């Protein structure tokens, strides 16, 4: 039910905005987040909303990534700036406790 989009090939230092939507309304009680996965590594949470309405970021994403939402469109976004080669991964959205079935993800490749 989760569908991610917006990935692609970008040069180092570039930007991308990822989107995540669902046919069902996101549960407000379950904070949504963005995860990423690279070969050989566990899927990691890079950005999420918090239960108090704020947001939280992995150290690797701080000051570069911004999570946001549009409740009218039932869409979660991840604005990624100053991209680095190590940001190359498949990105997924889900609740922070991984409640939903995973979507297909969207691939981000940072390379010159």
Q: What is the pLDDT of residues 91-111, one digit of tens each?
A: 999 999 988 899 999 999 999
Distance linking the first and last C-alpha atoms of the chain: 33
Tens digit of pLDDT for each residue in 23-72?
888 765 679 999 999 988 999 999 999 989 899 999 999 999 999 999 89
The residue assigned the tokens 């979660």 is 76
CA distance 76 to 95: 11
Q: CA 94 → CA 7, 13, 43, 84, 106, distances in Å?
A: 16, 26, 11, 23, 13
At 29 the pLDDT is 64
CA nearest to 80, candidates 60, 98, 94, 97: 60
């Amino acid at each position: 039910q989760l569908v991610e989009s917006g990935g692609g090939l970008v040069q180092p230092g570039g930007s991308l905005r990822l989107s995540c939507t669902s046919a069902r309304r996101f549960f407000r009680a379950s904070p949504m987040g963005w995860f990423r996965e690279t070969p050989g590594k566990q899927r990691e949470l890079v950005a999420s909303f918090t239960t108090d309405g704020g947001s939280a970021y992995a150290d690797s994403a701080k000051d570069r990534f911004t999570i946001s939402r549009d409740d009218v469109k039932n869409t979660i976004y991840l604005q990624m700036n100053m991209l680095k080669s190590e940001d190359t991964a498949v990105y997924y959205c889900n609740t922070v406790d991984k409640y939903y079935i995973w979507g297909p993800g969207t691939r981000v490749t940072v390379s010159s």
